[in-house]
A = this chain, B = another copy of it.
């Protein structure tokens, strides 16, 4: 088997006929230079939203079902067909492929399915014939041959999973930004492009609200040691590499500041005491694929008080699960309009005092903290949503991440 890569193009990269033509030009050049690769594409930008809207107009609770996933999966079917046609017009042999044709098997949790297995045989056969497989991202099939979708960032996950199955040299994620930044440049104009990140850091950043790559995609990359290269579709420069760091590499103390502006806090008091309650509660929430983030437990005025943060979108589901564990005298408090800011860096492991600097910087900017969590490579705090940008800027300055540095 020749050396091979996976090239993934997001929705904005294939968002119009003109952009599809430009992507095809770039792929055609790579192909004629002897590169062999698999292409993965998202739906044309706006298309998934259009389909979501159509579903919502008919059935407000469509999400998470068979028909909803089948509907959404049509978006990638359109984009890969058009991209294949653009390659064929250039005389480059290419073939469009859906999940069922490749055997991209997932579990059956519609709209949030997880890839379980991929048969690489069909892709390898096409690559041996010097053809370019153009694969629909975001979709899979379950054990009943129903079409599933992978949720947010699903096409990235498809790409890295295919790269793992093919033992590809690299998975290139082509996107409308030219790499991963030290923080959101719309908030901090001095944000700088990061050259390399470890899988560990990128996973933290993804779970902390960085939109560049989805957690699951980086997790698969880490598990199968697939180098991921995040780069611009229309600029040739190097982007950001996500790799296993060399042991000798001197890591910065903090690599990036992330923020997640859509956090809600759910608190209950009095709640049952003990680990058993929490383990059952979070077991049930995890069954419903509700991701709980920061958890705190302490004595309140009326007994045990439990509080946790979670994404805005899961609040209804979480609240009903929580209620099923409480007695009628318990009170649930929902604190909306929170956000989370975090610092991430593998260097923290060897540099003490980072958390102290984190809180000092927030304090100096007059920002108060409701929930906190730390790991050996991150510190996170839940704050008021309207203070998000101030917090990001204060931390970016504290940890000296600006371009000039």
Contacts and interface: CB of A to CB of B under 8 A. Distances in A.
A245 interface: no
Given A58-B86, A71-B77, 6 more contacts: A58-B85, A62-B85, A62-B88, A67-B85, A67-B88, A71-B85
Interface in A7-44: 17, 20-21
Nearest to A18: B57
Contacts of A62: 85, 88
Given A74-B77, A85-B59, A89-B59, A17 B67 contact: no
Nearest to A81: B71
Contact of A78 (B65, B74, B82, B147): B74
Contacts of A146: 101
B100 A85 contact: no
Interface in A70-127: 70-71, 73-74, 77-78, 80-82, 84-86, 88-89, 94-96, 98, 100-101
Interface string A376-397: 0000000000000000000000
Interface string A170-185: 0000000000000000
A81 B55 contact: yes
A66 interface: yes
Interface string A39-68: 000000000000100110111001001111
A113 B383 CA distance: 60
A146 B98 CA distance: 9
Which 10 A-B pairs rank lowest in CB-CB distance, beginning with the nearest? A71-B81, A67-B84, A59-B85, A74-B74, A74-B77, A59-B89, A67-B81, A58-B85, A70-B81, A17-B57
A128 interface: no
A73 B77 contact: yes
A22 B58 CA distance: 11
**How many of chain A's residues touch chain B, expressed as a range?**
35 or more
A169 B175 CA distance: 54
A17 B51 contact: no
A96 B65 CA distance: 11
A75 to B, nearest CB: 8
A291 to B, nearest CB: 26
A157 B81 CA distance: 24
A317 interface: no
A262 to B, nearest CB: 26
24 contacts: A17-B54, A21-B58, A55-B81, A55-B82, A58-B85, A65-B85, A66-B84, A66-B95, A66-B96, A67-B81, A67-B82, A67-B84, A67-B85, A67-B88, A68-B85, A70-B96, A71-B81, A74-B74, A74-B77, A74-B81, A77-B77, A98-B147, A100-B145, A101-B146
Contacts of A73: 77
A79 to B, nearest CB: 9
A77 B70 contact: yes
Interface string A341-383: 0000000000000000000000000000000000000000000
A147 B84 CA distance: 14
